[in-house]
A and B are shown apart, each in its own frame.
Chain A
Amino acid sequence: MKQLIKLKVNGDEYEIAVAPWKTLNEVLRKELNLTGTKLGCGTGDCGACTVLVDGKAVNSCLTLAVEVQGKEITTIEGLAESEDKLHPIQESFIEKGAVQCGFCTPGMIMTTKYFLENNPSPTVEEIKKALDGNLCRCTGYVKIIDAIQDAAKKMKGGK
């Protein structure tokens, strides 16, 4: 039996009918057509589905949609600062060559956003630990780590 829920995603309010067992990932991708959030495994192992719920990075494949009513949900589509200005993390991922096939990228970027907000000046070791739930098969993580260091600098005004 479906139930009516209210979700706030990227600042927009949605009222939708969903079955209570539907995950946030399914609702974002299939009901709201926000397909920037990926599904890589469905079991919380790869991190490709990472979104922010009240600013915290979560696996949307393991979160039920009904659980996150009334919370602020941010997906990759809601990260850019304006129509023509990307978020510094997005800029750094592009500039540093951290994107290859790109399937892990939205999840990586959302994890990074949560991480850098809580640790604005991370060491390489801290970055690696922060990323250990986000798998990437293309890059060997080298340029992703570069990009995160670069983004950290940008977010602190270049320092």
Chain B
Amino acid sequence: MSNYKILGKGIPRIDTPQKATGDALYTADIKLPNMLVGKVLHSPLAHAKILNIDVSKAKKVPGVKAVITRDDTFGEKWGVFKYTRDHQLIASDKVRFIGEEVAAVAAVDEETALEALDLIKVDYEPLPAVFDAEEAMKDGAPLIHEDHPNNINIHVKIDVGDVDKAFEKAYLVREDKFTSKDEGYGMLEPYAVIAYYHSDGSIEIWMPNASPHTKAKALSNLLHIPLNKVIVRRPTIGGAFGGRSDIFPLDFITSLLSIKARRPVKVVYTREESMICTRQVHSMVMYAKTGVTKDGKILAQDIKVIMDGGAYSSTGPIAASVPFLVWEETYKLENVRLNSYRVYTNKPIRGMYRCHGRAFLGGLGMQLDMIAEELGIDPVEIRLRNALNPGDMQATKSKIYSCGLKEAIKKAAEKIEWDKKRGKLPFGRGVGIGANGMMCGFPMGIRGGSSCFVKFNEDGYPTIISGVIDNGQGNYHAMVQIASEVLGVPPEEIHIVAGDTEVTTLDVGAYSQAAVLVSGNAVKKACEDAKAQILKLASEMLNCSEDELDIENKIVFSKKDKSKQVPLHKVIRKGLIENRHVMGRGHYMPEVSNDREWVKNPVGQQATTFSFGANAVEVEVDTNTGEVKIINAVGFHDCGFPINIKGVQGQYEGSIASGGVGSTLKEEHIFKDGKVLNADFLEYKIPTSLDVPENVYADAVITNDPKGPFGAKEAGLFGSMNSFQAIANAIYDAVGVWIKDFPITPDKILKALEEKRLKDEG
């Protein structure tokens, strides 16, 4: 497989001892001297004009140190893109969803802050509201942002080949509608922010985040503070799953409170606030028309999808595009049309998610299986016939480099014993398969790259300085393993400083599946740079050429003559005394088309490279209760090369739980007139230990990507992204019904079984 010393092994992660002892500090754990407690007033109305906000009584409560409203801002709006700047991060003229932030208080303790909140008087003029994306698009629907007709926030249009002509040639055409409900992220850590404004005009801020430099940029714009004075610190982070990517109102509000009070302020959101006022996940309606040849090759596809984006843009253009991009990263689509609408409604704001697009990817996967059945082709076979190969070009012109998609599909089928089981298990049991590709990073312009420094202390121990952030997936450890492999220093002896905008340079963050490829390449290059300096110094000490030297266990030695060796710290010290300090530098910019733009020009290389994976599941459906149990789940992941195989497995195990059990079978936010009725862990049902598959098996497909650090690519997202189709397909195999609305809850299965029974009986 490989001759790596450190890579590929499932060694324990460097960040986990702190987490297992309670040492690790998450944002809410951090306490600063003289710190105040902040509380936020949220809108009780889904859509209303704000006529007046009276804070005079609140300000008079003893112990209240700051009250802020729209009047305390520069009036700037924020959006991830210049053309999506629609959000002021504290309500100004209107409120647009129940829970929107209207005012906030900082006080000496929580009771005082709550008392003051009660005394803030807001006069609203209620406006008609709309809670359904298709309704919101109709003429005459209430306008949520006056400058967006029909409430269309984003329309992504892609039209490749000649779709209409290709449909004419199709042997079979199917049209289906698939839907999915609103979802939540369910990270265990409630959202929390600490802001500390200093008298030198700088501000320190802590919050769970997936990209400290992205947070800093937004705060810099909104607060009119230059970037070098916006210091986003690095707390330990309790999960993200796509839901900690962009700026949130609480980041801004806590900063304003600290600026006004001139003291550090901490706001910890309750579970309910966390589930409503950070991000939720889009619900979707998708209409898919697919034409195929007699042997099941996709000839033409016309897809219309409507996503409920909630009240503001967030990462709108990205959200509107990604499900399609994942689809085109999987199969050869020569004639394809997409009309993707992200629509404003009076609901909480929706963002990117690791299971984003269950109606889209689950739906298209299901439709492929329906087509396969009509043509008498096996679901595994139809996937293999359409799957991309290395060297292929995707529909919107991204080239595929390494690609183990077909191998992953075959291995998943073999491991689940597809040939023995598909269509052959007793009624109530079935197997299904799903597959997809995944971009290793989005085109993000100047924010898409990463750089890294390596410094050595005089004792020979190195420190890696990288802008990468770790939300729990193991990014710090991956960087340390890469550094360890290059530098010949054991992982536990390397220190990493990461995700702190005071010292780290611009980095893409733990966002868009880019960390291993982008940040990892930067770390590798910086370590290679440092190593070259070390070997040069050592070659002078050992009187030999640099080429014959290597480093292992902090000893520099000659590969030709092992008696020639010198401890690393002596080499470092020689550099220090001779004014040749060992300082490694590395940077990496993804190889993407920088003129590719989500809406205006969705053509060109979107990521340096792509990872792939396939999932197969065996399910048992209880026909009396409609409950689905996943008995076996197997995942094969072309992650290029697994830097840490345990990490790759852990990603799949978590993905099949949240994407498979959670998104596919259980999770859904329930609303009444725009109010979330289940913003808690009792009624919003994330999987428990009793819900997860009985047996989970995960392995890597090794393709050694030419662009990835040590051949590595993104690891983890396939497990959730294609579990929808695998499970829906297995349910069909088990009981013969297709459920086209996610989540596939027991009531839907029972209803479908009853309809099937009536139909079968004629």
Is B653 close to A, CB under 8 A?
A: yes
Is A142 close to B, CB under 8 A?
A: yes
What distance in Å separates the Cβ of B613 from its nearest Cβ neighbour in chain A?
A: 15
- 1/0 contact trace for B629-667 toward A, CB 8 Å? 000000000000000001101100111111000000000
Is A13 close to B, CB under 8 A?
A: no
Contact B13 A103 (CB under 8 A): no
Q: Which residue of A lies closest to B268 (CB)?
A: A39
Q: How far is the CA of A116 from the CA of B28 in the complex (A)?
A: 30
Contact A137 B20 (CB under 8 A): no
Contact A43 B17 (CB under 8 A): no
Contact A101 B681 (CB under 8 A): no
Q: How far is the CA of A93 from the CA of B13 in the complex (A)?
A: 11
What distance in Å separates the Cβ of B510 from its nearest Cβ neighbour in chain A?
A: 11
Count B interface residues, CB 8 Å.
Answer: 57
What distance in Å separates the Cβ of B615 from its nearest Cβ neighbour in chain A?
A: 13
Is A42 close to B, CB under 8 A?
A: yes
Given A45-B682, A100-B474, A145-B689 in contact, is the A137-B239 Cβ separation under 8 Å?
yes
Contact A94 B686 (CB under 8 A): no
Our pick among A38, A48, A86 for the contact of B21 (Cβ within 8 Å) is A86
Contacting residues, chain B, for A90 (C-beta < 8 A): 17, 20-21
Given A37-B22, A137-B186 in contact, is the A103-B239 Cβ separation under 8 Å?
yes
Contact A101 B189 (CB under 8 A): yes
Contact B26 A103 (CB under 8 A): yes
Contacting residues, chain B, for A138 (C-beta < 8 A): 239, 472-473, 650, 654
Contacting residues, chain A, for B31 (C-beta < 8 A): 33
- 1/0 contact trace for A120-142 toward B, CB 8 Å? 00000001110111111111111
Contacting residues, chain B, for A76 (C-beta < 8 A): 21-22
Contacting residues, chain A, for B10 (C-beta < 8 A): 97
Is B12 close to A, CB under 8 A?
A: yes
Is B579 close to A, CB under 8 A?
A: no
Is B419 close to A, CB under 8 A?
A: no
Given A137-B658, A139-B654 in contact, is the A103-B188 Cβ separation under 8 Å?
yes
Q: Which residue of B lies closest to A19 (CB)?
A: B111
Given A35-B29, A39-B28, A77-B22 in contact, is the A99-B688 Cβ separation under 8 Å?
no
Given A33-B31, A97-B10 in contact, is the A109-B20 Cβ separation under 8 Å?
yes
Given A48-B188, A109-B20, A139-B653 in contact, is the A102-B690 Cβ separation under 8 Å?
no
Count class of interface residues, chain A: 35 or more
Is B696 close to A, CB under 8 A?
A: yes
- 1/0 contact trace for B663-698 toward A, CB 8 Å? 000000000000000001110001111101100100
Contacting residues, chain B, for A102 (C-beta < 8 A): 15-16, 18-20, 24, 236, 238, 472
Is B541 close to A, CB under 8 A?
A: no
Contacting residues, chain A, for B241 (C-beta < 8 A): 137
Is A29 close to B, CB under 8 A?
A: yes
Given A43-B271, A141-B657, A142-B696 in contact, is the A101-B238 Cβ separation under 8 Å?
yes
Q: Which residue of A lies closest to B695 (CB)?
A: A142
Contacting residues, chain A, for B646 (C-beta < 8 A): 97, 143
Contacting residues, chain B, for A42 (C-beta < 8 A): 270-271
Q: Which residue of B lies closest to A79 (CB)?
A: B21
Q: Which residue of B lies closest to A125 (CB)?
A: B690
Is A104 close to B, CB under 8 A?
A: yes
Q: Which residue of B lies closest to A147 (CB)?
A: B20
What distance in Å separates the Cβ of B271 from its nearest Cβ neighbour in chain A?
A: 4
What distance in Å separates the Cβ of B499 from its nearest Cβ neighbour in chain A?
A: 14
> What are 16 A-B contacts defined by CB distance under 8 Å?
A36-B23, A43-B680, A46-B188, A76-B21, A86-B17, A86-B21, A99-B20, A101-B473, A103-B189, A105-B19, A128-B689, A128-B690, A133-B688, A137-B241, A138-B472, A139-B653
* Interface positions of B (Cβ within 8 A of A): 10, 12-13, 15-26, 28-29, 31, 185-190, 236-239, 241, 268, 270-271, 471-474, 646-647, 649-650, 653-658, 680-682, 686-690, 692-693, 696
Q: With A41-B190, A101-B187, A103-B187 given, name 4 new contacts (CB 8 A).
A: A35-B22, A77-B21, A94-B12, A137-B188
* Interface positions of A (Cβ within 8 A of B): 29, 33-43, 45-46, 48, 75-77, 79-80, 86, 90, 93-95, 97, 99-106, 109, 127-129, 131-145
